[in-house]
């Protein structure tokens, strides 16, 4: 059979330039990025530079070797683009090289991933069109091999192309999250991909992952907060102290240098948060804290999940709480149990479990005399949970494969939250001691289908008549298991006579991203966007004897830890935890993966640099710029606390 051959040969440089330009435009269309912007010019200039570099490489070799090198380069670059699209569609965030530390999550749920990759197969086919054409037209590609003299003439072209790219970065360099700032000053993978381009962003991310990258520490003007409670008045003011410890930052600063010294200066400048009327409110009670897999407000229903509905709508009722989806489950748990933002690059030091955490959950409650336990109804080694929970002070963490498998069925997927409560309650509930118990659930995990998900299948009949798509019904069915587990827990607490003396707290790790935004909106009471409101959820903080307390302030997972410490009257330093007590006078703030944020005054969408104020709220000039610096600082310090093992100094 005669092979297809064009009448004219195609210079290999044009193969690179056309293939890479095509891939970038496809990514922008899929990611819903405006291709008719100055950012596209910036992207094309980098592609020109990168194409010249690739041309230079293949021109150094013989045609036989170049026939191998060129397709390999095109395939590898295509894989870069494919990974970003598939990972985002599966997990709701983009790939960074720091995520390689989460490889076990990919392997554990490979079945779900293959199913979701199949759902994205059309994107993959479109992306691999240049690769297919390279193989079809391989005989027509002309390599223009360079002699030793011509090589030195070619190099200036590469330098000029990079110079043009560098000049293009100067356009609008002072604007928020400009290409210039993303290239030189800020680590924000989502905005980099959309503004700098995929190839540029991935090489930049690889370089920073290997050689490190620290953002500049900006110390803002933090005025002293008034120490009078809102309950006070001029005649009888109620004054509160700060939730701070007596640390000598001046001494720490004098002994430190470099990044650590700047961190000491930053935290010295922080005022911390005031104690308040709820300080020590639950001091003499027990605490059971849940990180609930994929729990979201759409799972709360008076008939379908009556226990969740009861807990969400009684006790402390948080109307503006968010569970930002950052790096999947490990990011959500990290934020809940550390009070830090899951900044890019946190996974490796976090999973190692070698960091110092003097304010760790287990450590803090043990110091206060609580009996502490931690449980997870899946593999105890998953995401190295047994390492980082030990670093937080949990010495007796129990999961499948280190003892829990003798009490529950660990051979099904996902495992049962009901079985976990049944099997573990007596460890603490009948001890006669004040206790703190931490549960990491798994029953609500995707993928959501009647086959392959035992919890969805178990409760299938209970959702059969609901007017939703199959995957949404399967999600709701899986969340029923969590509801039944909470129902059983309350029953056991009541039977043990300690229900009134126990607080139940619960927060989700992330929204059910395996459903997608459209599916979530089938159930949502108000339409959700894909950046901020998709993460709107509930924080349960409930005791059977307390009156309902409505809290309208914005909060998120990072605020759970300091809120619990204050309400249980534990001594901690609020300056050193990035999240803040939601019940304090500190303004509310929730931070999302691409540095979008929500405050009590409105919502900021980083990708469009758009701020939407709340109805009836006036925002002063400079507010958005100031808050972007605040958000950048919180993300930066969260990362540095881990990478510098900063808590070792306290």
Confidence of residue 2 (pLDDT cuts 50, 70, 90): low
Confidence of residue 140 (pLDDT cuts 50, 70, 90): confident
Q: What pTM was computed for the model? A: 0.91
Q: What is residue 417's three-state secondary structure?
A: helix
- The verdict on 188 and 93 lying in the same domain is yes
If you average pLDDT over every residue of the chain, what do you get? 92
Residue at 604 is within a domain: no
Q: What is the pLDDT of residues 269-323, one digit of tens each?
A: 999 999 999 999 999 999 999 999 999 999 999 999 999 999 999 999 999 999 9
Confidence of residue 230 (pLDDT cuts 50, 70, 90): very low
Residue with tokens 């529950």: 408
Average pLDDT over residues 407-430: 98
**What pLDDT, on the 0 to 100 scale, is given for residue 152?**
75
- Does residue 370 register a pLDDT over 60? yes
**What pLDDT, on the 0 to 100 scale, is given for residue 241?**
95
Residue at 615 is within a domain: no
- The verdict on 413 and 509 lying in the same domain is yes
- Does residue 1 register a pLDDT over 50? no
Query: Tell me, what CATH number does 543's domain have?
Result: 3.40.720.10
Q: Which one of 537, 570, 603 terminates a domain?
A: 570
- The verdict on 525 and 393 lying in the same domain is yes
Which of 478, 447, 443 lies closest to 460 in space, CA to CA? Answer: 478
Domain interval for residue 26: 10-211
Residue at 419 is within a domain: yes
Q: Which one of 181, 211, 241 terminates a domain?
A: 211
- The verdict on 438 and 311 lying in the same domain is yes
Confidence of residue 87 (pLDDT cuts 50, 70, 90): confident
Residue at 243 is within a domain: no
- Other beta carbons within 10 angstroms of residue 496's beta carbon come to 17
Q: What is the pLDDT of residues 207-217, one digit of tens each?
A: 998 888 888 88
Q: Which one of 189, 211, 233 terminates a domain?
A: 211
Q: How far apart are CA 321 and CA 308, in angstroms?
A: 16
Residue at 216 is within a domain: no
- The verdict on 439 and 317 lying in the same domain is yes
The residue that leads in pLDDT, 344 or 500, is: 500
- The verdict on 318 and 189 lying in the same domain is no
Confidence of residue 221 (pLDDT cuts 50, 70, 90): confident
Q: How far apart are CA 644 and CA 378, in angstroms?
A: 31
Q: Which residues of 117-150 are buried (b: 16+ CB within 10 A; e: fewer)?
A: beebeebeebbbebbebbeebeeebebeebeeee
- Helix intervals (H) in 102-195: 103-108, 110-119, 121-127, 129-136, 148-168, 179-184, 189-195
**What pLDDT, on the 0 to 100 scale, is given for residue 479?**
98
**What pLDDT, on the 0 to 100 scale, is given for residue 646?**
98
- The verdict on 395 and 285 lying in the same domain is yes
- Does residue 97 register a pLDDT over 60? yes
Confidence of residue 225 (pLDDT cuts 50, 70, 90): very low
Nearby residues of 575 by Cβ (< 8 Å), 6 or more positions away: 244, 267, 270, 271, 272
Number of domains comprising the chain: 2
């Amino acid at each position: 059979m005669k092979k297809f051959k064009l009448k004219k040969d195609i210079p290999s440089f044009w193969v690179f330039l056309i293939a890479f330009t095509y891939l970038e435009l496809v990514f922008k269309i899929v990611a819903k990025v405006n291709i008719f912007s100055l950012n596209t010019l910036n992207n094309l200039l980098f592609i020109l530079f990168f194409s010249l570099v690739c041309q230079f490489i293949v021109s150094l070799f013989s045609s036989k070797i170049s026939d191998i090198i060129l397709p390999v380069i095109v395939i590898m670059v295509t894989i870069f683009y494919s990974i970003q699209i598939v990972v985002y569609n599966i997990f709701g965030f983009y790939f960074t090289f720091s995520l390689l530390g989460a490889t076990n999550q990919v392997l554990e749920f490979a079945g779900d991933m293959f199913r979701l990759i199949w759902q994205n197969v059309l994107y993959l086919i479109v992306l691999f069109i240049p690769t297919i054409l390279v193989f079809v037209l391989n005989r027509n590609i002309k390599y223009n091999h360079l002699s030793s003299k011509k090589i030195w003439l070619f190099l200036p072209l590469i330098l000029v192309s990079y110079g043009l790219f560098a000049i293009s970065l100067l356009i609008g360099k002072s604007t928020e999250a400009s290409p210039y700032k993303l290239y030189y000053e800020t680590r924000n993978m989502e905005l980099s991909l959309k503004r700098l381009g995929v190839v540029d962003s991935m090489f930049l991310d690889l370089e920073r992952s290997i050689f490190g990258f620290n953002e500049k520490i900006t110390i803002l003007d933090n005025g002293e907060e008034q120490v009078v409670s809102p309950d006070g008045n001029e005649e009888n003011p109620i004054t509160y102290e700060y939730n701070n410890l007596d640390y000598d930052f001046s001494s720490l600063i004098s002994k430190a240098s470099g990044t650590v010294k700047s961190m000491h200066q930053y935290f010295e400048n922080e005022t911390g948060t005031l104690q308040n009327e709820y300080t020590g409110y639950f001091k003499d009670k027990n605490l059971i804290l849940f990180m609930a897999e994929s729990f979201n407000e759409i799972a709360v229903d008076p008939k379908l999940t009556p226990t969740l509905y009861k807990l969400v709508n009684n006790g402390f009722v948080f109307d503006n709480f968010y569970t930002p989806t950052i790096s999947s489950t490990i990011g959500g748990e990290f934020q809940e149990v550390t009070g830090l933002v899951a900044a890019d690059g946190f996974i490796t030091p976090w999973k190692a479990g070698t960091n110092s955490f003097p304010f760790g959950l287990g450590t803090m409650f043990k110091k206060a005399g609580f009996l502490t336990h931690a449980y997870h109804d899946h593999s105890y080694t998953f995401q190295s949970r047994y390492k980082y929970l030990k670093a937080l002070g949990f010495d007796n963490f129990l999961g499948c494969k280190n003892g829990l498998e003798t009490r529950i069925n660990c051979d099904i997927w996902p495992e049962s939250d009901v079985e976990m409560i049944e099997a573990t309650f007596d460890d603490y509930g009948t001890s006669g001691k004040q206790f703190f118990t931490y549960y990491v659930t798994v029953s609500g995990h995707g993928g959501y289908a009647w086959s392959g998900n035992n919890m969805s299948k178990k409760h299938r009949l209970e959702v059969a008549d609901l007017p939703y798509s199959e995957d949404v019904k399967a999600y709701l069915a899986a969340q029923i298991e969590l509801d039944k587990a909470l129902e059983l827990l309350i029953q056991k607490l009541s039977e043990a006579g300690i229900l009134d003396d126990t607080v139940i707290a619960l927060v989700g790790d992330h929204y059910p991203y395996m459903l997608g935004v459209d599916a979530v909106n089938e159930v949502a009471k108000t339409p959700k966007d894909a950046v901020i409101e998709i993460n709107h959820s509930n924080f349960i903080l409930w005791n059977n004897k307390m009156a309902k307390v409505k809290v309208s302030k914005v909060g998120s997972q990072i605020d759970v830890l300091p809120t619990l410490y204050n309400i249980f009257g534990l001594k901690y330093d609020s300056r050193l935890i990035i999240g803040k007590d939601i019940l304090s006078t500190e303004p509310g703030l929730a931070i999302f993966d691409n540095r979008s944020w929500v405050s009590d005054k409105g919502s900021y969408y980083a990708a469009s640099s758009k701020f939407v104020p709340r109805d009836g709220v006036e925002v002063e000039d400079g507010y958005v710029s100031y808050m972007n610096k605040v958000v950048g600082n919180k993300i930066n310090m969260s990362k540095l606390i881990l990478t510098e093992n900063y808590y070792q100094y306290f």
